[in-house]
Amino acid sequence: MNRLQSSLKNPLTMTILNTIKSSTAGFKTVSHCIFDMDGLLLDTETLYTLVTQNILDEYSPGKIYTWELKVTLMGLQKEDVSKKIVEIFDLPITWEEYAELAQAQIEDLMKNCRLMPDTEKIYEKAVENIAKKYNRPYPWDVRMKILGTIERRTCEIAVKELKLPCTVDDFQRQFVQITLKNLENVYLFKGAERLVRHLHENNVPICLATSSSKESVEVKTTHHKELFNLFHHKVMGSSDPEVKEGKPAPDIFLVAAKRFPDSPKPDDVCLVFEDAPNGCKAARSAGMQVVMVPDSHVSENQKQDATVVYKSLLDFKPEDFGLPPYKDN
């Protein structure tokens, strides 16, 4: 029995077993992992939405940054996003001015960005549940008005915009009760830190491939430098001269793969982790398998480029792709 246990712990045996498990799961075995950052590891997409809406409120009052537009821009580089927003909303500023305004607001907000807690969804669900109690829908345009507001303002907007038959005080009492109950059970890291540390500890080469600029990444990771230093390298699309085209073009992932010490063939051994449809398209164009952890608003049609889709990184099983399993499995 001891000899059997010893053989099962042998690295070669473990590699063979993980390869068999990967084949059984229907995925190709991989050896290198590439991570997107915004919306996957860091809870920044909510902040991007807030900043965009703030600028629209100032330069084009009444216009809403809808989900349908947002999802088409997720994963794009700064210049591309800025140009599209200025054009679509016919803003009376240049794309350079828009980018400067957005960056200034983002820097203030990003200093406090967190490793993927799900608090925004908890607040959203609380409003939705109360609205449902009064047989009212909770449409996207109202959500955009509420996003990022302080608690009292959230309640005032909800009661007014949804035409609820209750006072703001009544709504706030219900809102606080629901959110406090759910915040006690929130997954603080949403599986991100656990996965990154696990792969690093098991000598799986990992890197970051984000459309953000170097300056933006430095601000966003201010409170998480130790964790992000575990990545072998970081490819920052908006400031990397080798990334000629942003997502959904494959450039960023091809560059990321090339910078591993062994320069692996992307279509053989690289696995990408993404949240955005544009990112998934880029990964597949690079010939890579891609694990998608999308926003709940992403449609089924927008998930078609993903190899597999999970609600959370907590659902990911490394052994399905031939990687070392978690020890607590």
Question: pLDDT tens per residue, the chain (329 residues)?
Answer: 444 444 445 544 444 444 444 444 689 999 999 999 888 888 777 778 888 988 998 999 888 888 889 989 988 888 999 999 999 999 999 999 999 999 888 777 666 555 655 556 777 888 999 999 999 999 988 886 776 565 788 889 999 999 999 999 999 889 878 876 664 443 335 789 999 999 999 999 999 999 888 877 887 787 788 999 999 999 998 889 999 888 889 999 999 999 999 988 877 799 999 998 889 999 999 999 999 999 888 889 989 999 999 999 999 999 999 999 998 75
Task: Decide if 12 is inside a domain.
Answer: no
| 175 and 197 assigned to the same domain | no
The residue from 183, 211, 236 where one domain ends is 183
Token code pair at residue 82: 């800025």
Number of domains in the chain: 3
Which one of the listed residues 36, 43, 118, 320 is annotated catalytic? 36
What are the DSSP E strand ranges found in the chain? 32-35, 206-210, 234-236, 270-274, 289-292, 308-309
Residues 139 and 222 in one domain: no
Q: How far apart are CA 272 and CA 111, in angstroms?
A: 26
Instruction: Go through the chain and tell me how many residues it has.
Output: 329
* Secondary structure class of 273 (helix, strand, coil): strand
Q: Are 55 and 34 in contact (CB under 8 A)?
A: no
pTM above 0.75, yes or no: no
The answer to whether residue 11 is domain-embedded is no
Q: How far apart are CA 120 and CA 43, in angstroms?
A: 9
Within-domain flag for 256: yes
Instruction: Assess if residue 14 is contained within a domain.
Output: no
The separation between the first and the last C-alpha atoms of the chain, rounded to the nearest angstrom, is 21
Domain assignment present for residue 136? The answer is yes
- Catalytic residue of the set 38, 43, 251, 320: 38
Q: What is the pLDDT of residue 329?
A: 58
Q: Give the whole-angstrom CA distance, residue 163 versus residue 293.
A: 34
Beta partners for residue 308, in sequence order: 291
Q: What is the pLDDT of residue 213?
A: 82
Please state, in angstroms and rounded to a whole number, the distance separating the CA atoms of residues 121 and 140. 13
Whether residues 197 and 308 share a domain: the answer is yes
Do 190 and 117 contact (CB within 8 A), yes or no?
Answer: yes
Give the model's pLDDT for residue 8: 44
Final residue of a structural domain among 183, 210, 232: 183
Provide the domain limits for residue 230.
Answer: 25-42+190-321
Phi, psi of 159 (to 5 degrees): -65, -45
90 is catalytic: no
Alpha-carbon 282 to chain mean position:
15
200 shares its domain with 294: yes
Same domain for 101 and 67, yes or no, is yes
CA–CA separation, 114 and 43 (whole Å): 6
The pLDDT, as a whole number, for residue 198 is 97
Place of tokens 């907590």: 314
Is 38 considered catalytic here?
Answer: yes
Q: What is the pLDDT of residue 239?
A: 86
Buried b (16+ CB within 10 A) or exposed e, 90-101: ebebebeebbeb
230 and 291 both lie in a single domain: yes
CATH of the domain at 84: 1.10.150.240
CA distance 216 to 214: 5
Contacts (Cβ under 8 Å, ≥6 apart) of 329: 317, 319
